[in-house]
């Protein structure tokens, strides 16, 4: 299913982008950012589903495999990339955005403690205004640095905010367009020649 056609600034390599499966903190509604928690049973099932999607996608023999070094992404990669590679390339630039003082807190906590930050602009912009957090420009810059080094088709196991910004860069979208991209766990997004699709099992 085609989700969106963008106008990339240049021809980027073909990408298959996976967000990690559900974690214990996802299930509890807690912000993770640079912190971590293990996959739930559902999260492991989602990662296995992503593996089935990838194995049916007709990946090129030239495809390389990349992964955030954070635990939840590593767990997902072990399941999703089984039979495809035993040695994904771990890269700190694929880590989730740091949300500073928000890490470990729930959305309800944030609404109570920082009411002026919530509900402004896009539903995701508060991630980049967190006290002690990374901020959008630095976050986008490190993802762009990674993307500029990729020369062929690649599978990327990463995080929700990274996935959105990475897809947005390839599609030539600004922050507002990135915020409108679909997300989700247990899915694979395929981006090629400016066309963005969610691959089905």
Q: Where are the beta strands (DSSP E) in the chain?
A: 2-5, 15-19, 64-67, 89-90, 154-158, 188-192, 195-199
Confidence at residue 172, expressed as pLDDT on a 0 to 100 scale: 93
Residue 149 designated active-site: no
Say which residue, 53 or 130, is predicted with more confidence.
53
Mean pLDDT over the full length of the chain: 92
Number of structural domains found in the chain: 1
Q: Give exposure, 128-158, as e/b (b: 16+ Cβ within 10 Å).
A: bbbeebbebeebbebbeebbeebeebbbbbb
Confidence at residue 126, expressed as pLDDT on a 0 to 100 scale: 82
- Cβ-contact 161, 124 below 8 angstroms: yes
Mean per-residue pLDDT, 139-154: 97
Q: Phi and psi dihedrals of 65, rounded to 5?
A: -125, 130
Residue 14 designated active-site: no
Catalytic residue among 24, 45, 66, 96: 96
CATH code assigned at 47? 3.40.50.1240
Give tens-digit pLDDT for 72-119. 999 999 999 999 999 999 999 999 999 999 999 998 898 888 877 766
High-pLDDT (> 70) share of the chain, %? 92
Catalytic residue among 14, 20, 66, 103: 20
Distance CA 180, CA 65 (A): 26
Length of the chain: 201
Task: Write out the residue range of the structural domain in which residue 50 sits.
Answer: 2-199
């Amino acid at each position: 299913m085609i989700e969106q056609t963008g106008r990339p600034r240049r021809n980027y390599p073909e990408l298959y982008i996976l967000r990690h499966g559900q974690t214990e903190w996802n299930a509890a509604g807690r912000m993770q950012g640079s912190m971590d928690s293990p996959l739930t049973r559902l999260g492991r099932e989602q990662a296995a589903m992503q593996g089935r999607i990838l194995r049916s996608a007709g990946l090129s023999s030239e495809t390389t495999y990349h992964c955030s070094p954070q635990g939840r992404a590593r767990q997902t990669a072990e399941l999703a990339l089984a039979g495809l590679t035993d040695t994904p390339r771990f890269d700190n630039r694929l880590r989730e955005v740091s949300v500073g003082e928000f890490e470990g807190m729930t959305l309800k906590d944030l609404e109570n403690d920082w009411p002026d930050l919530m509900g402004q602009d896009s539903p995701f912009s508060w991630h980049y205004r967190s006290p002690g957090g990374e901020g959008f420009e630095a976050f986008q810059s490190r993802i762009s640095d990674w993307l500029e080094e990729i020369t062929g088709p690649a599978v990327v196991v990463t995080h929700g905010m990274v996935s959105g910004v990475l897809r947005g860069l390839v599609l030539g979208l600004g922050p507002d367009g990135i915020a409108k991209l679909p997300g989700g766990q247990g899915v694979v997004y395929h981006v090629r020649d400016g066309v963005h699709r969610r691959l089905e099992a």
